[in-house]
């Protein structure tokens, strides 16, 4: 069975076609796939492309970067709240992550009329907290809805300073110190 | 039907209508009868008709209904490699780059996959030998079972240099080489192009290959741009190829039954037990 082994010259089809045309391959011996290829050719002829050796051939970017308008909101979210407390579950195709919920709530509030970016962020955070999602700011303890009990913030040193400035006698301060 | 076949016969029989009316039951009672081989042109003609009929329609085997864009998306076919691994020649097939991850254009993949499956179906219909090749060890068993289920062949081990180019010496004289090679991954274990692509082009064998964003699609006859690393994607491809090949072979059996051609050994190892009706 005759053949042509020049894979860098023309395509498989052109080589076989020319061999049939010149009579080297008899019409009875033509390969099985020849008619099928002729009727349904591929989108691009499988020609061999020489590898480009010079690195400075062309530098333009043909493949565009994919960015969405929601990416700005997402960057704001990730900057403020870090990676988010809930992990992403990629096995489910309809999974909504914390960031996505933030983005949806943000857009909802924006459509209601609020325009200021920083206020929108605050409002979205509060709205999500109302729904039950806890967001932790980067480097800070979790944001709580109501403020802490002021008694817990009292430091012993401040208490003692107050007591001293109030003018109590030394015995009472020593008692306080010991207790 | 036999009468019609004879009228198109190459040996140029002449018969009179009266004769056919007199003997309605067959080809061997004609007035001008004696010829050494009456059934042969009949069988050859019908076989030709069987072979050429599918070429008339655009999608004779209806392969386009086997998959949809959503199926491709759910199987993560659109996920390519990182920007640094990108092959220059894959750029036309990419939709874009999301944070340095290449995303393959699924609209183009749909068209290419349809062409590739259609070609595979036609080859299987004509009794061609199909060879599945993949050097990914993760999917070696899957590819081998796929080939077994279709009644075709697979080669998922080390590709010896002269497998195709030196076949007559390695396997004995007069070996029949595959008529189509399907690559489930066009790279070998060291991320270079598989030798089989170049060898198939040398031996004038068409190839169908799944090309990822780090592969070279230039020598593959029917490239299918898509992900070749995710198990979900590779399972999808294997399922699609298996369904098309089985569909094509069943169709061939049907056509032979319709045209009353005795099913000869046009495909000696067509395993009937593995027929799948999809």
Instruction: Walk me through the domains of chain B, giving residue ranges and CATH numbers.
Output: 64-76+106-257 (3.40.50.10490)
At B25 the pLDDT is 45
More confident: A54 or B40: A54
Assess whether pLDDT exceeds 50 at residue B147. Answer: yes
Cα B235 to Cα B232: distance, rounded to the nearest angstrom: 5
Tens digit of pLDDT for each residue in A61-97? Answer: 689 999 999 999 899 888 888 877 788 888 888 888 8
Residues of chain B positioned with their CB less than 8 A from the CB of A43? 111-112, 115
Task: Please give the average per-residue pLDDT across A155-167, as a whole number.
Answer: 84
Computed over every residue of chain A, the mean pLDDT equals 81
At B271 the pLDDT is 42
* Long-range contacts of residues A90-93, Cβ cutoff 8 Å, at least 24 apart: A93/B74
**Cα dihedral sign, B91-B94-B98-B101:** negative
Angle of helix B231-258 relative to helix B39-56, nearest 10 degrees, comes to 140
At A125 the pLDDT is 80
Angle of helix A117-131 relative to helix A98-112, nearest 10 degrees, comes to 120
**Residue of chain A with shortest Cα separation from B94:** A63
Pairwise CB contact (< 8 Å): A5 & B220: no
Assess whether pLDDT exceeds 90 at residue B118. Answer: yes
Query: Which residues fall within 8 angstroms of residue B64, CB to CB, at 6 or more apart?
Result: B114
More confident: B104 or B261: B104
* Residue A163 exposure: Cα atoms within 13 Å on the Cβ side: 16
- For B124-274, strand residue ranges (E) read 130-133, 153-155, 180-183, 207-211, 222-225
Assess whether pLDDT exceeds 80 at residue B264. Answer: no
Pairwise CB contact (< 8 Å): A42 & B221: yes
At B278 the pLDDT is 41
**Residue of chain B with shortest Cα separation from A57:** B88
pLDDT confidence bin for B20, thresholds 50/70/90: very low
Angle of helix B231-258 relative to helix B106-125, nearest 10 degrees, comes to 40
At A127 the pLDDT is 79
Q: Which two tokens stand for residue B18?
A: 């009266």
At B42 the pLDDT is 61
Minimal Cβ distance to B128: which of A5, A33, A48:
A33
At B46 the pLDDT is 84
Q: Quote ipTM for the complex.
A: 0.78
Task: Please give the average per-residue pLDDT across B199-213, as a whole number.
Answer: 95
**Around Cβ B168, how many Cβ atoms within 10 Å?**
13
Return the exposure string of A134-155: e unless at least 16 CB atoms fall within 10 Å of the residue's CB, then b.
ebeeeeeeeeeeeeeeeeeeee
Cα B33 to Cα B9: distance, rounded to the nearest angstrom: 14
Residue A89: is it exposed, middle or buried by C-beta count within 10 angstroms (0-12/13-18/19+)? exposed
Cα B107 to Cα B69: distance, rounded to the nearest angstrom: 8
At B47 the pLDDT is 86
At B240 the pLDDT is 97
Cα A129 to Cα A105: distance, rounded to the nearest angstrom: 12
The mean-pLDDT minimum among A123-127, B37-41, B91-95 falls in B37-41
Q: Does A15 touch chain B (CB under 8 A)?
A: yes
More confident: B253 or B11: B253
Q: For B92, phi and psi rounded to 5 degrees? A: -65, -20
Assess whether pLDDT exceeds 60 at residue B38. Answer: no
Minimal Cβ distance to B126: which of A4, A6, A32:
A32
Computed over every residue of chain B, the mean pLDDT equals 84
At B170 the pLDDT is 93
At A116 the pLDDT is 76
């Amino acid at each position: 069975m005759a053949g042509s082994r020049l894979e860098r010259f023309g395509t498989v089809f052109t080589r076989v076609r020319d061999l049939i045309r010149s009579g080297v391959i008899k019409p009875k011996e033509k390969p099985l796939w020849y008619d099928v290829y002729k009727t349904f050719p591929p989108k691009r002829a499988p020609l061999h492309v020489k590898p480009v050796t010079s690195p400075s051939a062309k530098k333009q970017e043909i493949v565009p970067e994919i960015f969405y308008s929601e990416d700005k909101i997402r960057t704001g979210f990730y900057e403020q709240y870090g990676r988010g407390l809930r992990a992403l579950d990629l096995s489910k195709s309809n999974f909504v992550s914390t960031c996505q919920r933030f983005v949806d709530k943000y857009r909802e509030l924006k459509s209601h009329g609020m325009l200021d970016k920083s206020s929108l962020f605050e409002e979205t955070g509060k709205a999500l907290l109302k729904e039950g999602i806890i967001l932790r700011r980067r480097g800070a303890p979790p944001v709580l809805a109501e403020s802490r009990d002021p008694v817990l913030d009292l430091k012993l040193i401040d208490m003692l300073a107050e007591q001293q400035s109030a003018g109590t006698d030394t015995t009472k301060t020593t008692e306080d110190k010991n207790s | 039907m036999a009468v019609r076949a004879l009228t198109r016969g190459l040996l140029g029989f002449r018969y009179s209508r009266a004769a056919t009316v007199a003997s309605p039951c067959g080809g061997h009672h004609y007035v001008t009868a004696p010829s050494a081989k009456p059934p042969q042109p009949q069988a050859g003609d019908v076989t030709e008709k069987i072979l050429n009929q599918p070429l008339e329609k655009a999608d004779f085997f209806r392969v386009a209904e086997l998959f949809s864009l959503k199926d491709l998306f759910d199987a993560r076919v659109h996920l390519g490699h990182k920007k640094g691994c990108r092959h220059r020649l894959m750029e036309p097939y990419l939709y874009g780059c999301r944070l340095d991850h290449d995303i393959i254009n699924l609209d183009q993949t749909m068209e290419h996959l349809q062409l590739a499956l259609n070609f595979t179906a036609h080859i299987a219909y004509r009794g061609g030998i199909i060879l599945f090749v993949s050097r990914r060890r993760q999917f070696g068993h899957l590819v081998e079972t796929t080939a077994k289920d279709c009644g075709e062949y697979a080669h998922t081990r080390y590709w010896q240099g002269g497998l195709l180019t030196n076949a007559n010496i390695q396997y004995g004289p007069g070996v029949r080489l595959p008529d189509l090679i399907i690559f489930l991954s066009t790279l070998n274990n060291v991320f270079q192009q598989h030798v089989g692509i170049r060898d198939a082009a040398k031996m004038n064998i068409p190839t169908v290959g799944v090309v990822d964003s780090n592969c070279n699609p230039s020598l593959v006859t029917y490239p299918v741009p898509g992900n070749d690393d995710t198990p979900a994607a590779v399972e999808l491809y294997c399922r699609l190829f298996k369904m098309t090949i089985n569909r094509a072979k069943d169709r061939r059996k049907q056509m032979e039954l319709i045209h009353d051609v005795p099913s000869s050994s046009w495909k000696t190892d067509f395993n009937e037990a593995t027929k799948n009706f999809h």
